[in-house]
Amino acid sequence: MNNRYTSRINRIKSQLSTTSSFKVMTSPEKSIQSRPPITTHILDTSLGRPAHNVDVDLFYSSTTTSSESKEPEMVLQKIGGGVTNSDGRIPDLLSADYVS
């Protein structure tokens, strides 16, 4: 492989291993991650700044087959949501019930 690419790949690998925001789970009692697993950041491109006061809902989508119709049906379950703050973010978008 070209030395230039090898150097670049090694640099990326070292950055990923030292700046990872996720912690490795060592026991079931300890947190898996140091920050929320799902985040959002909404930008108002027409104004060039974060969009605040935007309602956001997060749904889990699955399919099920009813015993009567035998046809697959899509099922949506709301698992989180909120309103963006002044920075256009919702820090706790995913409900705590769904974070392991």
Closest CA to 32 of 44, 20, 49: 20
Q: Does domain 3-98 have CATH number 3.30.450?
A: no
Stated pTM of the model: 0.54
pLDDT for position 17 = 53
In sequence order, what E strands does the chain have?
43-44, 49-50, 55-65, 72-83
Token pair recorded at residue 9: 């790949």
Residue-wise pLDDT for 37-56, tens only, equals 788 899 999 999 999 999 99
Question: 62 forms bridges with which residues in the sheet?
Answer: 75
The domains of the chain are located at 3-98
